[in-house]
Amino acid sequence: MIRLKKEFTVKENALRLDLYLSNNLEVFTRSQIKRRNVEAFKKSNGKFFKIKLSKPVFKDDEMLIEFDEESSQIDCLKPKNIPITIIYEDSNIIVLNKPQGILSHPGISHWDDTVVNFLLYHIKRLKINFNEEKVRPGIVHRLDKDTSGVLICAKNINTLGFLAQQFKDKRTNKVYIAIVKGNFNSFFGSIESFIDRDKYNRKKFSVSKDRGKKALTEYRLLLNFGGYSLLALKPKTGRTHQLRVHMKYLNFPILGDEVYGRVDGSFKKITLMLHSYKLEIDVGKNSFKKFISEFPKRFVIFLSNFYKSDELTLIIDNLVLFLKDF
């Protein structure tokens, strides 16, 4: 059993929210609502507030529901040949360059287009090897849907435990690259804070003085150009949305971040400019390997607005050399 969330906009007036859910969302029947511990929240002035399922709802109301997902849906996960580049593979692990826009594991409305579906297609014995893990077989760590880059996955239970423990013990070296709004005014530094769920918006997290979990991010300026900066980011902890929250707190939000930033006036259709570039980890018997992805095309395309082709090629070549040992 897992806890899932779904946001939606009400399409028609209804005397009771539970009736609307059962008649319109096709997620569950009315009789299942209590058994699956459904909770509902209504947005007002940009914030979600809990409401009773017996309350009426009206057209254009913005809603959020949380509920338990039954195993029958999970057992129906299907293999799918999704175009994902494999960086490295052996008998125990597989390292992917996850594209932007793909979830790491299934969730509401996404049961057949995730990294897990790709793993089930590519690794024929995955479901057998992870018989007790129905939802996230092979997933050691996760990247947000719109974050691209290096993602390591396990082919069996023992390897998953071995790799996951390194993330827990902070024995991995993770390097992300990000384009942020504004010209960074220091070449390197770090930010340490508490990060907790935002008390005004359940979808967001925020820096707190004394609530939540400790989070530490190291940063290095790679490039200042126009009104933007290219940064290398090292999360020394693994909090949800950590890099995005820390960059916002420093007043340098990541470009294209719809949750923690604002639409850029010059590049309104830009997507999240955050990429997992490198991962160093022990793959067994103290054999540390360094997995590096390609410099993302969307970064190259964006930078081409500010540099000529030959100049940009030289800049990227130098960045790749620097990041290799960062």
Parallel, antiparallel or unpaired: strands 213-225 and 228-235: antiparallel
* Residue 121, helix vs strand vs coil: helix
Angle at CA 241, nearest 5°, toward 315 and 27?
125
Q: Retrieve residue 125's tokens.
A: 């014995």
Q: Is 144 a catalytic residue?
A: yes
Catalytic residue among 18, 68, 90, 144: 144
Q: Which residues contact 214 (CB under 8 A, 6 or more apart)?
A: 192, 193, 194, 195, 237
* Residue 65, helix vs strand vs coil: strand
Q: How far apart are the first and last CA of the chain?
A: 40
Q: Retrieve residue 83's tokens.
A: 């175009």
Its sign, for the CA torsion 226, 232, 235, 236, is negative
Which of 240, 227, 236, 235 shows the shortest CA–CA distance to 179?
227
Torsion of CA 98, 104, 110, 114, to 10 degrees: 50
The label of the residue with tokens 């010209």 reads 183
What does the alpha-carbon distance between residue 3 and residue 135 come to, in Å, rounded to a whole number? Answer: 11
Do 100 and 148 meet the contact criterion of CB atoms below 8 Å apart? yes
Neighbours of 161 (CB within 10 A): 11
Query: What single-letter amino acid sits at 135?
Result: V
Catalytic (active-site) positions: 144
